[in-house]
Each structure stands twice: as C-alpha cells, then as structure tokens.
Amino acid sequence: MNGLLLEQAPVETAGAACSLDHYLVLPDDTMDARIAAARERLGTDAVILGHHYQRDEVIRFADFTGDSYKLSKAAAESSAKYMVFCGVHFMAETADILAQPWQQVVLPDLNAGCSMADMAEIGQVEDCWESLERAGAVAGDGMIPLTYMNSAANIKAFCGERGGLVCTSSNARAAFEWTYRRAGRILFLPDQHLGRNTAFAMGIPLSEMVVWDPYQINGGVTPERLRAARIVLWKGHCSVHQRFLPEHVDRIRREHKGMQVVVHPECRWEVCQKADALGSTERIIDLIERAPEGSSFAVGTEIHLVNRLEKRFAPLGKRVVTLDESGCLCTTMYRISPQHLAWTLENLIAGHVVNRIRVENDVKHWARVALDRMLEIGN
C-alpha cells in the first residue's frame, strides 16, 4: 500500500461526463478559449497551480507559478474548493496533505509522475532503516531521516514519524541545520546530489558521506562506514539535472567569456563545484532578475524554464542560454497538456471531479507533521 488513493472515475454525477479521448485528438490552440472560459465559470471555486517546468501552453493559465516550496505554501493557503495541480504526482499529494477537509486536489494526468520520487519505495526505505539500526548508525547521537519534496507521501510520513521533515531545494540547508541540531547523522533521500551539495556547502567533507544503494546488500556499505558517516545519501537522482556534465561548464567557459554558470543543486557535485552559483528555480530566477543589464547566464536546469527566462529577460538586455545545448525537458511534467487541463476544468463545471488525488488518513497525519516542520523553518 503506497498511501495514495487514485480516482479516475467521476465522484459526482451532475451532468454528462466529458471523455478525455475526445479532447486528445484536438489541436493545442483550440483549447485556449475553452480553458479561459472554464476558468471564468469556475471563478474562485478552483485554483490552478503550475510548476516552473510545465510547458508554456499550460502554465499561462496558472493562478500560482513556482517551485515545490512556493506551490506548497500556495496550496496550504488556498481557499478554493478545487486545486488543479499542473505538476507531478508528489506535488498533488502534498497539496492534498495540506488541504482542508472540504478541498479536493486534481492532477490533470495521472501519468505525470517523477522518476526521482520512484527511486525510493517505502519498503526499501524501511529495510534501509532497519539495516542502519542493526549497524548501530541510528544509536549514539542519533540519526534523523530527511526527505526531499520529490518523494511519495508515505516516504514523507516515514520521516515525520521518526522526528524528521521534508525539504525543498530552496530550504535544504535550513532543513539540514534543523536536523543536525537534533541528531548527529542524517539519512537523506531520494536525491543524492542535492544531499551531497547541501552537506558539502555546510563544510561536511565527502569522506563523511556514504551512498546507500537499495539494490545492494546493506546498501553496499559496511557497518563501520555507516557508523562513521554523518550523512547517508540515498542513491537517487533527477533524470533532467543529472544530464549536465562538467564538460558542459568547460565549454561555456571556453566559448562564452564572462558568462555566469548557474545550476540547480540537483546537478552532480562536479558540475556544482565548477558553477558560479547554484540554487532552486526561484533563486535562479532571482539571480538573473537582480543582475545588471548586459549580464549573461548559462543555466543548468529544465529547458522549459530556461527558454521562458530567455524570452523574459532578452528585452532587459540580459542573455540566458541552456548549459547543455541538447537541453532536456521533464518528460513526465510534459504529459500535462492543454487538452488535459481543458478536460479537467470542463468536467468540474459538469459536476465531475476526475483524477482526484487523495492520501490515506494515516499516511496524511505523519506526512503533515513532516511538512509542517518544513513550513515552520521557512525558505
């Protein structure tokens, strides 16, 4: 049981249900007027949340745009009856965890998942924790599990129940500091790169970090190494950000003198060490926004966001390019199309809630504890 209930069939019955298949054969540009009209009819009953990596044809209709932290806050503060989340599964789960009992969260396409989140399954995490206990790594000055937002609800609940919390790339350092004030060791999952980059920036040497591989016996780490490590990193990664390589930075240095390299902390440690700055999507945007006219940036993150920044800042005399010329999009985020959004909204108008995301109550309780701790420490 993963702690998540999925509802593809309508849960209300006023009016005729709209078939998704009918929408998917229609061109993108025929959806704009329908989406706009549906939004107007729904009024304040519905709010659309759009992640930065979402395609332009969808995010233009979002009431709130941002990274995971910003959208989590928006979800927690929303008074809308329906939260239509144009993101991926774990984001919609988080919105449901933070939602009021009378609110309903909808994910326009249930296939919009996250490969990183899928790299940590609850059974694997429970086995890991038991192995850490047997090795004595949880004893002594203690260990606390800390999970990245990009994880399933039951992983968040696992951390909340054991004194841990959730973090985003925006507040990872604050979360690490919060955890170290309470214990001497951290189990961080599922993104090894964010964990490594955050810990290293805090002065923790690589020699005091180990990587837990869930597909190897005892994670592929000796008990002695586990007991000595200050941070145990889960072997997971973002398929988009892991594509950026040190040679991409070297090419920018060679071909574009004076161009600043800014990367997301989900990138490899070797890439982050060569970069001029690293930060969440919100921090990357802020850095470019505050830069003087004539500045130029090579950005290592999802291509939809980079292209959006290029268009936004070009009139202000700032140049933005992707760090990797072959640029990679978040394929699961891309699954949500204008057709999916129009189908979702028009079904709501007809009285049908499709693709509702609901987290089971027992999982929701402890996941909420972990998320509330995150919201308390701030950004």
Q: Is residue 252 part of a domain?
A: yes
Mark whether 296 and 344 lie in a shared domain: no
Mark whether 132 and 185 lie in a shared domain: yes
Mark whether 131 and 232 lie in a shared domain: yes
Alpha-carbon span 147 to 165, nearest angstrom = 7
Q: Is residue 136 part of a domain?
A: yes
Last residue of a domain, one of 201, 222, 238: 238
- Confidence (pTM): 0.88
Mean pLDDT by 10 residues, the chain (379 residues): 46 53 88 94 94 87 85 84 92 90 93 89 97 92 95 96 94 96 97 98 97 96 95 94 95 95 96 95 94 96 90 96 82 84 95 93 95 87
Mark whether 249 and 234 lie in a shared domain: no
Q: Where residue 100 sits, what CATH number does that domain have?
A: 3.40.50.10800
What is residue 322's three-state secondary structure? Answer: strand
Mark whether 166 and 232 lie in a shared domain: yes
Name the residue range of residue 69's domain. 4-112+332-365
Q: Is residue 198 part of a domain?
A: yes
Alpha-carbon span 225 to 233, nearest angstrom = 13
CB count in 10 Å sphere of residue 7: 15
Per DSSP bridges, beta strands 4-7 and 356-359 are antiparallel
> Please, how many CA atoms are within 13 Å of residue 71, restricted to the half-sphere of its CB?
34
Mark whether 275 and 190 lie in a shared domain: no
Question: Strand (E) positions, 165-249?
Answer: 165-167, 185-189, 209-212, 231-234
Q: Is residue 38 part of a domain?
A: yes
Q: Is residue 377 part of a domain?
A: no
Mark whether 125 and 103 lie in a shared domain: no
Q: Is residue 370 part of a domain?
A: no
Q: Is residue 379 part of a domain?
A: no
Specify the pLDDT at position 1. 36
Mark whether 343 and 305 lie in a shared domain: no
Query: CA angle at residue 179 from 177 to 184, to 5 degrees?
Result: 100
Per DSSP bridges, beta strands 277-278 and 231-234 are unpaired
Specify the pLDDT at position 145. 98
Specify the pLDDT at position 69. 73
Mark whether 292 and 344 lie in a shared domain: no
Q: Is residue 196 part of a domain?
A: yes
Mark whether 213 and 255 lie in a shared domain: no
Alpha-carbon span 252 to 292, nearest angstrom = 20
Q: How many domains does the chain have?
A: 3
Mark whether 130 and 232 lie in a shared domain: yes
Mark whether 150 and 207 lie in a shared domain: yes
How far from 260 is each of 295, 303, 348, CA to CA, in Å?
Answer: 8, 17, 46
